[in-house]
């Protein structure tokens, strides 16, 4: 079981991801903007972060860069989940420090497989 933080401003996406992850036995917390997400990661040190890209205020690429460059949070794996589907978006996300990149709409099996793959690295 992992503690997973979702940073996404879409209530629908948060609900879908939460339902999928909780059914798989994970504990889920969520915030709706990058600034609060950064603070929550620093305060709670989740096992994995699911990060949207397009949000009001700071975007998910910026938040990923901040979290992965901070020694206190750099070990927390970030999975970017976004509608941005171009290869350049994928590469940019990885350059910011994301460990995985999934394009919306998300397949439940793909999400769970990604989480399971990252868990050993999160410990």
Mean pLDDT of all residues belonging to the chain = 94
Q: What pLDDT, in 10s, does the model give residues 73-114?
A: 999 999 999 888 888 888 999 999 999 999 999 999 999 999
Give the whole-number percent of the chain exceeding pLDDT 70: 97
Q: What pLDDT, in 10s, does the model give residues 34-44?
A: 999 999 999 99
Q: How many domains does the chain have?
A: 1
- The domain that holds 61 is classified in CATH as 3.40.50.2300
Which segment, 64-73, 89-98, 111-120, is predicted with the most confidence on average? Answer: 64-73
The residues, any chain, with a CB within 8 Å of residue 10's CB and separated by 6 or more, are 52
The C-alpha atoms of residue 88 and residue 4 are separated, in whole angstroms, by 26
| Cβ contact 74:94 at 8 Å | no
Q: Which domain holds residue 105?
A: 3-122
């Amino acid at each position: 079981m992992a503690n997973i933080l979702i940073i996404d401003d879409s209530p629908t996406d948060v609900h879908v991801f939460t339902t999928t992850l909780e059914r798989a036995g994970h504990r889920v917390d969520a915030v709706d903007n990058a600034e609060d997400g950064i603070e929550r990661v620093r305060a709670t040190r989740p096992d994995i972060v699911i990060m949207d890209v397009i949000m009001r205020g700071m975007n998910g690429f910026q938040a990923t860069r901040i979290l992965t460059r901070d020694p206190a949070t750099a070990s927390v794996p970030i999975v970017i989940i976004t509608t941005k589907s171009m290869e350049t978006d994928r590469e940019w996300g990885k350059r910011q420090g994301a460990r995985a990149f999934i394009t919306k709409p998300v397949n439940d099996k793909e999400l769970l497989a990604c989480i399971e793959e990252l868990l050993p690295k999160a410990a």
